[in-house]
Structure 1
Amino acid sequence: MLELRFDESWPNATSPLQLRFVGELIPEPPIRFGGIGIELGLGIGKGLRLDNQLVIHSLSRYIALDTALIWGGKSADHQDYGLVWHTKGLAQQITAWPWLTPQLHKQQFSVHWATPNQHENHTQLDWLTPLQRMNVNVAKWSQSQPKEQLASVLWRQVSGTQICQGIAYSYKGQRGFEYSLPWGPHQPQWICSTRYIPQTGKITMRFGEPWTNSQSPITLRFTIEPKVCRFDDGGGLIDAHPSLPSLDLKIPIEPQIRRYYLMQPTITCVRVFDNLPIVISSCSISQSRGQWAKSVSIEFSSRIDAQRAHNELLLITINGYDFYVIAEQPSASKVFGSETHSSTGRSRAAELASPYLLPISYTNAVARSFGGIISDILQQGAGSAGWTVELKGIADFTVPAGAFSVGNKSPIDAIHEAATQLGCMILADDAARKLTIIPRWPTAPWQMATAVPDLTLHDAVITNYSETVARNPLCNVVWLRGEQQGISAKVKRTGSAGNIPAADISAQLIVDNQAARIAGTNALADTGDKLNINLTLPVMADLPPAVPGMLIGIREGTEVFKGTCDSWSIRASVSERGDINIEQSITVIRSIA
């Protein structure tokens, strides 16, 4: 309560009395709607200078506090008191008490409370179903109305004085229809189908004798048609991609000529199914045109390595080139103070041979193409899944029903017999598990002058060279005959008299002019004088291992003479000091007559 005392009377005073205070008016602090404001004034005299600062560092999790208090009075000075409290991962309090000045002080607090127990409460929940975080349902081309629902679940709950939650639910119904109609030329694509393509005309069915036990209706069963693929080059009514002649962009592999070659040979061996390292001291791999698999000889560094590699698929990497081999026949040799463990085997193509697959018997019951017969033989093997076969450089032809048969042979041996009848050979890609049937002479000797070699060698990379001559008569004609349903054909070199015949050829697959042409060309290529050249080469990044059947060019001065790679071998060895020696040897056959 405020009491006013007057020491004398004022005769002219009238009621009510007005009291005026001089000085600057203190503005009223704004009070927001819904808040509480208290104004309090306190006059403080001038005292001694005092400075006190207190800093408290404490850790508090999930605490958020913001406080502001406003104190003041109309007829008093100001007292300012500031308190800042705001943390996210750390609680911090700063208190300032400025004294010793007649200046006004101010203390301000601001309190925002959502609930008495929580500083801040936000809850957000997007929930469509209790089992799925996101569910998108789209219905198209239906008589019912299409619906689209999109929901996501976000849930967060933390301990302490701060809890964040959210609840939200949205549903979007039908807003319209959307149709997409492609219009324009279609893209190029392969079209494959096993559906029967009827021939032009009607089909006449004749039954030779009545079937007494037949019941109506009669069920006719047809064999599955082979899968036929054709390429549609796209475009509209006018072909946008006309057929163009193939461009010969073949670029031969030729190592660079350098003053010196820095070699860093490497050799590693791992077991394929678990990548277990196998330590080997030497390895030799070889193959010729008459082999469908590579021959392998491995010498191990210990008995344990030999046991781990026995009858297992191994991956041998020599200077970055991979070779898949199977160590099939282990052997051991012991002398005083020394013990050697080695093994011989074949490449991965041996998976298609005995003893991994049982022998089969095959006869083409229906007319099949040569490529179809090879595929049928490959599919008969119980463990041949994953292997594929293709023809390269061979024109496919049709084999009449029952014309080809093979018995009691493994699938790879049966395929090799079929390829041999046409003068062809098998190349196996062990990494891709793929068999390729190619002619034994991919390039005939009379065509080598204008052909582009696959690999060109020069003196800088040839470490050893030797040659021998084999004399044979040069023939220009050969007679070929089929056996049961075959044909008789005469194959003659163009431009020759056809008066020097080679040995006659009789095979089951000589049933078509294309088959006779392939077999006759390879038979004539084997005749004539041959120069057998043996070369020893390194294995580098720009000089890969050769492949049998590859056309090899050997540069001699300014001229390049060419021949066919007949055989190839590579040898890698590790000395007791750890030195690695790697080299490859090839035999090239060059026709000189």
Structure 2
Amino acid sequence: MIKIRFSQSFVANNSPTRIYFGEDNGGPVTPKIELAMECGFVWLSPAALVQQTTPAWQAPPVAREFVFSVQILPLISAEINKPWRNGLTENQQIYCAFGGIKPISQACELHWLTKMSQQQSDTVLNWRGSMALLGTERTVHWSPPTLLGIEKQQQWQGVARPIAREMGFYYGPSPLEYICVWQNHPRKGLVILRLDEPQTAHATPLTLRFGTPQKICYWGHGGGNIRGWDDIPVINRKISIEPQLRTSYFMQPTITCKRVSDDLDIIISSFNSSHSRSQFAATCSINFCSRIDYERALNQLLKITVNGYVFYTFVEQPSSSLKFGQHSYSATGRSRFAELAAPFTKATNFTNSTPKTFAGLLTDLVANTGWTINNQMLDYPVPALAYSHQNKTPAEAVKACAEALGAMLQVNDDTKVITVVPKWPVMPWDTQNAVCDVIINDSVILEHSSDQLTNPDANVVFVRGEQQGVAANVKRSGTLADSYANDVIDKLMTDAKACRQRGSCELANAGNKEQSTLRTKIMDDLPPIKPGMLVGIRYGSDIYKATCESCAITATVNQSTGAITVNQRFVLLKNA
């Protein structure tokens, strides 16, 4: 720091007053300033350009047209910082940021007066003014007379071989129609005319007339690619239901209950349903969670869904139990087909006053009830006044007619369809080559027990009707027919078809049986087993085949945890 002291006054003639520091001669001294400069340049060069050329040569140009577009951009930015300090070595720093000149783009369009489709050429040139050329990108299309080279990328779908083919096959019985053929029709070929007697022609020329041969028409199957009387069988392939074999099964059981009349939810804690081949309706039992649900369900039709499978039941006989700190409400009932039985329908008398078939007779029994019949048995004629019953409801009458023919009832409560099927869909001695309805592997079987049933053996049975009936001996094929079963007498045995079906059922019931009881779960690929199904049990490579006699389904809800448990238990019968 420099201190300046003034000891005497000085009269200034001019303002401002200048003070010079220098030599004795009084002249000013110009200090020498040493400058230093440090420069740093940073260039922002773009990435290396890629040159892509797709040449296609064809012909010399006829006309040429160029369009140039040039653009030079100014310097982006420049910044200089220069701090100075007197008396010391001066330092100067300059920071320069150059943006350069952006690439200039050139586009050329060349139009050629040739017959070829390629008539355009584009050229794109990129450079940086006076700087070194960093990259060039061109796209040039040529059309010389001789094709030198071409690059193509094509995707197509060949039509040499058909990818898909749709064909239609007609099968099933062909409709009947009148087929007419000529009788004694002359064969195609040379015709020889012999004129043995002379005849005087009254007119010329002589005209010969050949009459149309006589035709014979009959009612039969039409022709075509098959012979006239042939019939094409109906394709009916049966595929067994078989659950997958897994190391573990994850299930989420569900159970819901609704009142059919108004779709009101009913809360229940358990549901049981059992059905056998000798019953026309399943028997059910229900436990309700509260008295309110119990009162809402009295004398109502309920729709119960267990794991997605629907069951219908009438609440017919309610019951309640009251204890200290514990109340329970339950009820029993039957499935929906019970609406054709007492007490929902009164018993009546019936006689067929006109000739009917067996299927027509069953249809008359359920007329005006909303139910329909699906007969899977061999139909046959029933003469007038051959059948009658007294004091029977429609459900009891249909069941009695089915049992007379050796059949059972399979009822669809949802569609209200009664299907009449054989009690033994496959004879117990002929199950080796039969296709099962359901095949169960040992991984889904929770319990299995078996026992023996002893019955008299028989290989022939005598079946006959009554006043308008027929009589027949029905024997098991491949046997000596020397062991008779009890005779069968029924008013519906009016045709040999009826006797054969009833006799086959009696022979299937005869002999020792092996009865097996199994317990499994109900899953998506394992539906509830129904009576009459042919069930196969797979043990390794062997399949044990038997007919389902009865089944029972149980669904319970744990009161403390709310866990739902669903099981099904069924009984199978086969020849021992």
TM range (shorter): 0.5 to 0.7
1:295-310 to 2 correspondences below 5 Å: 295-310=283-298
Question: Could you say if the C-alpha distance between residues 458 and 189 of structure 1 is closer, same or farther in structure 2, counting changes exceeding 3 Å?
Answer: closer
Residue 245 of structure 1 deviates from its aligned partner by 2.3
Write the distance in 2 (CA, Å) between the matches of 1:449 and 1:590.
12
Task: Select the residue among 335, 340, 347 that pairs with 1:359.
Answer: 347
Task: Select the residue among 249, 252, 268 that pairs with 2:240.
Answer: 252
| Alpha carbons 1:188, 1:233 under 8 Å: kept | no
Q: Tell whether 2:464 aligns with 1:473.
A: no
**Equivalent pairs: percent with the same residue?**
43
Residue 534 of structure 1 deviates from its aligned partner by 0.2
1:327-366 to 2 correspondences below 5 Å: 327-366=315-354
Residue 536 of structure 1 deviates from its aligned partner by 0.1
Question: Could you say if the C-alpha distance between residues 473 and 307 of structure 1 is closer, same or farther in structure 2, counting changes exceeding 3 Å?
Answer: same
Match for residue 54 of structure 2? none
Question: Could you say if the C-alpha distance between residues 451 and 236 of structure 1 is closer, same or farther in structure 2, counting changes exceeding 3 Å?
Answer: closer
1:54-453 to 2 correspondences below 5 Å: 243-379=231-367, 384-385=369-370, 387-392=371-376, 394-453=377-436
Match for residue 124 of structure 1? none
TM-score under structure 2 length normalisation: 0.60
1:510-521 to 2 correspondences below 5 Å: 510-521=493-504
Letter in 2 for 1:438: V
SS of match in other structure, 1:413: helix
Question: Could you say if the C-alpha distance between residues 235 and 364 of structure 1 is closer, same or farther in structure 2, counting changes exceeding 3 Å?
Answer: same
Task: Select the residue among 519, 531, 537 that pairs with 2:514.
Answer: 531
CA RMSD of aligned residues (A): 2.5
Letter in 2 for 1:522: C
Give a deviation string over 1:143-186, Cα, whole Å, max 9, x none: xxxxxxxxxxxxxxxxxxxxxxxxxxxxxxxxxxxxxxxxxxxx
SS of match in other structure, 1:524: helix
Match for residue 199 of structure 1? none
| Structure with the greater alpha carbon radius of gyration | 2
Residue 462 of structure 1 deviates from its aligned partner by 0.3
SS of match in other structure, 1:374: helix
Write the distance in 2 (CA, Å) between the matches of 1:504 and 1:322.
41
SS of match in other structure, 2:429: helix
Write the distance in 2 (CA, Å) between the matches of 1:449 and 1:294.
30
Write the distance in 1 (CA, Å) between the matches of 2:270 and 2:229.
54
Write the distance in 2 (CA, Å) between the matches of 1:582 and 1:465.
17
Write the distance in 2 (CA, Å) between the matches of 1:407 and 1:537.
43
1:494-573 to 2 correspondences below 5 Å: 494-573=477-556
Letter in 2 for 1:540: M
Write the distance in 1 (CA, Å) between the matches of 2:233 and 2:222.
18
TM-score under structure 1 length normalisation: 0.59
Q: Tell whether 2:573 aligns with 1:589.
A: yes
Write the distance in 2 (CA, Å) between the matches of 1:363 and 1:248.
37
| Alpha carbons 1:270, 1:276 under 8 Å: kept | yes
| Alpha carbons 1:188, 1:234 under 8 Å: kept | no
SS of match in other structure, 1:447: coil
Segments of structure 1 that go 5 or more residues without pairing to the other structure are 1-186, 192-231
Write the distance in 1 (CA, Å) between the matches of 2:340 and 2:221.
37
Question: Could you say if the C-alpha distance between residues 372 and 282 of structure 1 is closer, same or farther in structure 2, counting changes exceeding 3 Å?
Answer: same
Letter in 2 for 1:587: V
Question: Could you say if the C-alpha distance between residues 188 and 397 of structure 1 is closer, same or farther in structure 2, counting changes exceeding 3 Å?
Answer: closer
Write the distance in 1 (CA, Å) between the matches of 2:499 and 2:425.
16
| Alpha carbons 2:172, 2:235 under 8 Å: kept | no
| Alpha carbons 2:172, 2:234 under 8 Å: kept | no
Residue 189 of structure 1 deviates from its aligned partner by 12
Segments of structure 2 that go 5 or more residues without pairing to the other structure are 1-170, 176-219
Residue 246 of structure 1 deviates from its aligned partner by 3.4
| Alpha carbons 2:451, 2:516 under 8 Å: kept | yes
| Alpha carbons 1:425, 1:439 under 8 Å: kept | yes
Write the distance in 2 (CA, Å) between the matches of 1:491 and 1:410.
32
Residue 242 of structure 1 deviates from its aligned partner by 7.1
Residue 249 of structure 1 deviates from its aligned partner by 1.8
Write the distance in 2 (CA, Å) between the matches of 1:407 and 1:190.
43
Letter in 1 for 2:288: F
Match for residue 465 of structure 2? 482
Give a deviation string over 1:314-336, Cα, whole Å, max 9, x none: 11000000111111111001111
| Alpha carbons 2:172, 2:232 under 8 Å: kept | no
SS of match in other structure, 1:514: helix
Write the distance in 1 (CA, Å) between the matches of 2:350 and 2:440.
44
Letter in 2 for 1:477: V
Write the distance in 2 (CA, Å) between the matches of 1:500 and 1:188.
41
Letter in 1 for 2:569: S
Write the distance in 1 (CA, Å) between the matches of 2:431 and 2:553.
26
SS of match in other structure, 1:501: coil
| Alpha carbons 1:482, 1:509 under 8 Å: kept | yes
Residue 488 of structure 1 deviates from its aligned partner by 1.4
